[in-house]
Chains A and B, each alone.
Chain A
Amino acid sequence: MNKFVIIAIFAAILIGAGITYSVYFRAPEIAPIKPTGNIVEINITANKNKWNPTLITVKAGDTIKINLINEDLYDHGFAIEAFGINKRMFAKQNTSVEFVASKKGNFVFYCSVPCGEGHFEQTGHLIVVSSE
């Protein structure tokens, strides 16, 4: 049989099994937390390849609006993989990103655009805690 047909069948079975599992068998706390509608605004600046602040704590289910302020004369980028965020911050500009903190845990945010020395150390943490 055509190997692409086999792959398609495999994909169908996999997705089917995945849906079945997530609906009927998965522990409910694993599912993404529903948005509470509560909006939290946070300012983060990037200056000389450093974030400020480097530690942010938010509540699960909150909609997080981050204002990114790039004070350098070159570009930075703001990325949090768990929430699919990877945003370029133009030089001397303000940028914003918005997402729902749908998972609890400790997440790394980092600079995703090469910016010279110190680039790989330009990181911070976003901690999402339980809303109760």
Chain B
Amino acid sequence: MQERKIFKIRGMHCAACANLINKFLLKQKGVLEANANFGSESLNAFYDSSVITPEQMNAVLKKLGYSLIIAEKESESEELAEMERQKEIQNLKKRTIISFIFASPIILYYMTVHMFNLKHIHAFCVSGGGLMTGLVSGCQGGWLLDFNWIFFAMTTPIQLGVGWVFYRNAWTAMRVGSASMDVLVVLGTSAAYLISVIGFLFSDLAFLREWSGWSGLDHPFWESSAALVSFIILGRYFEARSRGRVTSAIRKLMNLAPKTAIVIRDGKELEIPSSELKIDDIFLVKPGANVPTDGIIVEGKSSIDEKVVTGESMPVGKDAGDEVIGATNNTYGLLKCRAKKVGKDTLLFQIIKMVREAQSSKASIQDVADRVSEKFVPIVIVFALLVFSMWYFILGYPAIPSMIFMVAVLVISCPCALGLATPTALMVGTARGAQSGILIKGGKALEGAYKINAVAFDKTGTLTKGEPAVTDVVALAALPKEEVLKIAAIAERGSEHPLAQAIIKASADVPEPKEFSALSGRGIKAQYEGKTILVGNELLMAENNLDITPYEKDYEDLQNQAKTVVFTAYNGKIIGIIALADTLKDYVKEAITELKKMKKEIIMITGDNEKTAKAIASSIGIDSYFAKVLPEKKEELIANLQKQGKVVAMVGDGINDAPALAKADLGIAVGSGTDVAIETGDIILIKDDIRDVVTAIDLSKKTIHKIWQNFFWAFIYNIIAIPVAAGVHLFITQTAGVPAPWVVEAAAFLGEASGKIFLNLSQSSLRPEIAGFAMAFSSVSVVMNSLLLNRYKEPKFARENKKQ
């Protein structure tokens, strides 16, 4: 039997892991499709359960160092995965702290010395007069403690302990043929560490020197290893902490359905856990309570707020025979319903499933660092091999100097600032975003925002406020508009209906009516100061022999704008028309205009009818919209847009938007929305201001640009230094061992002091202190460049007229 299932996976530590898992699982008989996802740490598997079981798949993955979480209950697997995640973050935090405790003295010592060309010492005199006297006397009677011992002891735990994860990741990446950033880091730091250890131990220690017959290399690269590993692990820690918490989104969804339900069994009311509900159970829903499961009303009448699930802006009036959806809110009436679907078949559960599937199939965006190193690593390795061959085979140099040239290329190829490029820009960018009320969840969100070319908006609650408000009042008699509204409000005071609430809200100091009766499907009738007030539709007017034909035009005009229109009659005479609609949030129009200027395609998605959708869309200048979209179709719609090659951002607020938010390349959740949407989104707008969508996209773009710039600054010194490390430049700066004529001329041109420096530098390959300088300087450049992002200004329009 063929089956599709989503598992949580334990032990995924890098993007290449997903490829490795897919590769190995697809080799198994019975696995038809395997799609592992690093971001959501899950596996979407389509397999033949008669050929292979999840336990067997787990056994395969165990050999690679991963394991499937096979839990009895879906919710348990989420809990387990979340615990795993917390453990991972704690682990990274510990590593970061340990790493920096050991690395900071090394980094400080070497970087200051190299950057400022300082006179310094690299050994303490022990028991020979101490630091000062010992130094002057040449440490007579004492012994020198070479700092190499201290740095060796401090770098080793960093390189082999903290940095162990890089070896593991690099190995995984290499098995699938990917040269990720981990490979570059392993290559560079291992080269630096090994040449430091081997050079120091074998050429500096007398007894090993005798044995190896080699002397004279003790200039170490401790700081290269220590700084790289520390900064990269710090970046990983930030990334892990900010990674979107899909798990809690799903848990929150699960908590949405009430825990208990009141059922009627054998004529008695019983409170039972919702999970024990059975099909055809009769259950009660009290006013203000949430519906426990999907069913049909058998008795009672109410208006149900289905916004959370369907996205419909207005509560829907429901009568016996109508369907109710689990997790929606019953506003006023007491309902007796029959359960139609329970457990995994309910609409809510379908949404949970969709969120999970969307997350597990989301295309992962590759880090800038990974993309750079994918090309860079093979080039460096090949170049290093060529360098060795040139010196050793062609120029006939001894083996050790030839190898040192090669190792120098590898050491310098991995910039110290590599680990700083992404996290520093990310830190400044996200901090800057937070100041503007925009929470960006990690680097992936930024990359997503940078790439998008289409923005899909959910209408209700995102573009509009999600509740009806009075938009127009047409006074038909001599009375002023305020009076018309007030009279209508008096009658509506008896009603709980959201439309009634909107009318009351629009008017001030509304007195109580004397008598009141709600007329189902027509409106309201009330007595006030001995006169009759009628508020309702044309049916109610006709029943009371009031002719509406003179006002037909006003009425139709308003209806065509997709507004709910009611007549108000007072003392046997029609006095006015009141129109109600879900109103737009502030600045929506400005935001849309700006997005269009940014050449993004704008799409509106709504559960509302065609007419309402069209009215809203045209009023804010959106060209393409999809009306009557069922919640489960939203995600499909996004997927279709993606299939057309669009990179789509989804802006939404509701639970019904969650699958689409998860599926979209970038999910933007509006902060006033539901927790579930907020947890699912990649970017969260804290303020209820849709202009922040523009700011978020703009800021993301700037931050990504910053990251690229950082990579430029990180790599530029090193890329220039690579041929120098290889000694390639000597071919043009030397002729037969003496400076080439052009170098001498150039030196003369540069003047006395700097000319001499140029002349001397041109005659050697990459001098270690120059390498140290490049490393320190590139780190400083990267940090400075990132800090410049603090000066980011929001797009001009965004903050204007904020407070009117």
* Distance between Cα atoms of A127 and B146 in the complex (Å): 32
User: What B residues does A21 contact at CB under 8 A?
Assistant: 393-394
Q: How far is the CA of A21 from the CA of B395 in the complex (A)?
A: 12
Chain B CB within 8 A of A114 CB = yes
Asked if residues A88 and B215 are in contact (CB atoms below 8 Å), the reply is no
**How far does the alpha carbon of A21 sit from the alpha carbon of B756 in the complex, in Å?**
39
Q: Given the complex, which residues of A lie within 8 Å of B398, measured CB to CB?
A: 32, 83-84, 100, 102-103
CA gap between A112 and B756 in the complex, in Å: 16
Q: Does A53 contact B (CB under 8 A)?
A: no
Set A96, A97, A103, A116: member contacting B396, Cβ < 8 A:
A103
Interface string of B193-232 (1 = CB under 8 A from A): 0000001000110000000001111110000000000000
> In the assembly, what is the distance between CA of A85 and CA of B209, in Å?
13
Q: CB-nearest residue of chain A relative to B392?
A: A18
Q: Mark A92-132, 1 if CB is under 8 A from B, else 0.
A: 11001111101101111010111111011101000100000
The residue on A at minimum CB distance from B396 is: A30
Knowing A10-B385, A92-B138, A107-B737 are in contact, say whether A77-B219 is a contact too (CB < 8 A). yes
In the assembled complex, the Cα of A97 lies from the Cα of B727 at a distance in Å of: 23
Q: By the criterion CB–CB under 8 Å, are A108 and B764 in contact?
A: yes
Q: Please, which residue of chain A has its CB at the minimum distance from the CB of B761?
A: A120
For the complex, is B320 an interface residue (Cβ under 8 Å from A)?
Answer: no
CB-CB nearest in chain B for A114? B117
* A115 to chain B: closest residue by CB: B119
A79 and B392 contact, CB distance less than 8 A: no
B586 on the interface (CB 8 Å rule)? Answer: no
Within 8 A of A (CB), among B15-46: none
CB of B303 within 8 Å of the partner chain:
no
Contact between A92 and B393 (Cβ–Cβ < 8 Å)? no
User: Could you say which residues of chain A place their CB within 8 Å of the CB of B117?
Assistant: 114-117, 119
Chain B residues with CB under 8 A of A82: 397, 401
A-B Cβ contacts below 8 A, count: 172
Q: Are A81 and B764 in contact (CB under 8 A)?
A: yes
B382 A4 Cβ-Cβ under 8 A: no
- Asked if A114 and B121 make an inter-chain contact with CB atoms under 8 angstroms apart, the answer reads no
> Closest A-chain residue to B173, C-beta based?
A4
Chain A residue contacts of B760, Cβ below 8 A:
108, 110, 120-121, 123
Q: Which of chain A's residues have a CB closer than 8 A to the CB of B217?
A: 84-87
The reply on B386 being an interface residue by CB < 8 A is yes
Q: Which residues of B contact A15 (CB under 8 A)?
A: 389
A32 to B114, CA, bound (A): 34
CA distance A87 to B767 in the complex (A): 12
How many residues on A have C-beta within 8 angstroms of the other chain's C-beta atoms? Answer: 60
Closest to A66 in B: B216
A73 touches B382 (CB 8 A): no
The listed residue (A3, A14, A26, A120) touching B389 by CB distance below 8 A is: A14
Contact residues in A for B395 (Cβ distance below 8 Å): 30
Chain A residues in 8 Å Cβ range of B144: 90, 93
Q: Which of B466-495 contact A (CB under 8 A)?
A: none
Complex-state Cα separation, A79 to B382, whole angstroms: 27
B769 contacts A3, C-beta separation under 8 Å: no
Whether A116 and B738, one on each chain, are in contact in the complex, defined by CB atoms closer than 8 angstroms, is: no
Of the residues A31, A97, A116, contact of B118 by C-beta under 8 Å: A116
Q: Are A114 and B769 in contact (CB under 8 A)?
A: yes
The answer, yes or no, to whether B757 is at the interface (CB within 8 Å) is yes
**Which residue, A82, A83, A84, A120, has most C-beta atoms of chain B within 10 A?**
A84
Find out whether the CB atom of A84 lies under 8 angstroms from the CB atom of B216. Answer: yes
> B265 at the A/B interface (Cβ < 8 Å)?
no
In the complex, B763 has a CB within 8 A of chain A:
yes
A22 and B727 within 8 A (CB):
no
A39 at interface by CB-CB < 8 Å: no
CB contacts (< 8 Å) of A57 on chain B: these are none
Identity of the chain A residue whose Cβ is nearest the Cβ of B140 in the assembled complex: A92
Within the complex, what minimum Cβ distance (angstroms) separates A83 from chain B? Answer: 6
Tell whether A81 pairs with B736 under 8 Å between CB atoms, given A91-B121, A114-B117.
Answer: no
Query: How long is the Cα–Cα vector from A127 to B738 in the complex, in angstroms?
Result: 11
Q: Which residues of A contact B123 (CB under 8 A)?
A: 75, 90-91
Per-residue CB contact flags for chain B residues 127-153 toward chain A (1 = under 8 Å, else 0) read: 000000001111100001010000000
Contact between B381 and A7 (Cβ–Cβ < 8 Å)? yes
**Which of A7, A91, A98 has the most chain B CB within a 10 Å cutoff?**
A91
- Beyond A15-B389, A21-B393, A116-B118, is A92–B137 a contact (Cβ under 8 Å)? yes
| A38 contacts chain B at the CB level, 8 A cutoff | no
B764: contacting residue among A103, A110, A115, CB under 8 A: A110
Point out the residues of chain B lying under 8 angstroms from A98, CB to CB: 215-216
A84-B217, A120-B757, A120-B761 known; A90-B378 Cβ under 8 A: no
Kindly list the 4 A-B residue pairs having the minimum CB-CB distance in the complex, ordered from nearest.
A106-B737, A2-B177, A92-B138, A18-B393
A interface with B by C-beta (< 8 Å): 1-5, 7, 10-11, 14-15, 18-19, 21-22, 26, 30-32, 72-75, 77-79, 81-88, 90-93, 96-100, 102-103, 105-108, 110, 112-117, 119-121, 123, 127
Q: List 10 A-B contacts (CB under 8 A).
A: A73-B135, A78-B216, A87-B204, A87-B216, A92-B137, A93-B139, A97-B215, A98-B216, A110-B760, A113-B769
Interface contacts beyond A81-B401, A98-B215, A102-B398: sample of 6 additional A-B pairs, CB < 8 Å, sorted by A: A7-B381, A84-B216, A90-B121, A108-B763, A110-B760, A127-B737
